[in-house]
Amino acid sequence: MQTQNTDRPLRRMPEGARFNQFQLDSMRNLYERIERVDPESETVAKIRDTVAAFSDEAIRQVAGAKIKWLSYFARRAAEERNLDLQPMRNLPVRRISIRCKDHPEWGTWGVFEDRGGHYEIYGRTGGRMLDKSEAEQFWEIVH
């Protein structure tokens, strides 16, 4: 059996790369079996380096995915990069465009008003109210 050379530096994920739900569930299942970790171990250092190689979007995903051990390292990586873990919570109105991740054919939408728990958004087909929790889960910033 061949072993992988783990001494080479990890390549960073392309910006905007995301994990799909199956990948997140697989990570959750794998890491939930780990009871204890030694913070000084080589394994923890490799996990930290792997998470540091994630794209900003992947770090946000893992940080919020409640994956034992891994979400902690993702939150730390987000702090090191000064990432906002909830970027869809405080959108700058009238200066940003968003897009639905599942339906890019809908095009981009402008954020016109922040109404507390939701945004008023407008696209080429009209306007609608977008709940902030829905924005976090299904929409992305395209500027």
Q: Which of the four pLDDT bands, split at 50, 70 and 90, describes residue 94? A: confident
Whether the CB-CB separation of 89 and 141 falls below 8 Å is answered with: no
Q: Are residues 109 and 137 both part of a single domain?
A: yes
Residue 118 maps to a domain: yes
Q: What mean pLDDT comes out for the span 27-54? A: 91
Q: Are residues 76 and 102 both part of a single domain?
A: no
The chain-wide mean pLDDT, for the chain, equals: 85
Which one of 30, 50, 81 terminates a domain? 81
Long-range pairs of 115-122 with CB within 8 A, sequence gap ≥ 24: 119/91, 119/93
Domain holding 128, by residue range, is: 97-141
Threshold 0.75, pTM exceeds: no
Q: Are residues 68 and 104 both part of a single domain?
A: no
Q: Are residues 75 and 102 both part of a single domain?
A: no
Residue 61 maps to a domain: yes
- 8 vs 94: CA distance, rounded Å: 45
